[in-house]
Amino acid sequence: MNLWSLFTWLHVIAGVAWVGLLYYFNFVQLPAVAAATADKDGPGPAAISKYIAPRALVWFRWAAVATWLTGAAALESMGVGLANAFTLQSGAEVIGIGAWLGTIMLINVWLLIWPNQKLLLGIVPASDAEKARAKTIAFLASRTNTMLSIPMLMCMVGHQHGLPFFN
């Protein structure tokens, strides 16, 4: 197996973990916490917030880093080059747009989602007003990543497979 194949497979595996968790948070956990909060006779959202969310966020954050690093390594080993991708050089425009989208998503994870989730989960002390603000920021950053994931995935697949909508 050549290095490009190895890095590509690692990139795909890490990316599945990252985007899978992103979709889990947006389409499963968020509605489940809302339903648990609204259910006055139920167990409430404490178990999700105390046990599931912190562990899922560890995997989410580090899968984002692993995805970005293995993507950079794949670009280098396939001869495109990270600099060529990020400067959208000829032949690297599509993969470059995908790399930029993935980079924006990575920044959102580490600079917007995670710091605000620490406040919401009580990892870092916060007032109710700080938690309300953190909830809005984390929600918007997470939804932004969900929307960015669609064109990002299309760029990643389109570059390698020459999908018709990129020709």
Task: List the chain pLDDT tens, one digit each, 167 residues.
Answer: 689 899 999 999 999 999 999 999 999 999 999 998 899 888 888 888 889 999 999 999 999 999 999 999 999 999 999 999 999 999 899 999 999 999 999 999 999 999 999 999 999 999 999 999 999 999 999 999 999 999 999 998 876 666 555 54
> pTM for the whole thing?
0.91
Alpha helices in 78-127 (DSSP H): 82-86, 93-107, 114-120
Q: CA 22 to CA 80: how far, in whole Å?
A: 28
Q: Is 126 left (phi over 0), alpha (psi -120 to 50) or beta?
A: beta
Task: Provide the 8-state DSSP code for 80.
Answer: S
3-state helix vs strand vs coil in the chain, percent to 5: 85, 0, 15
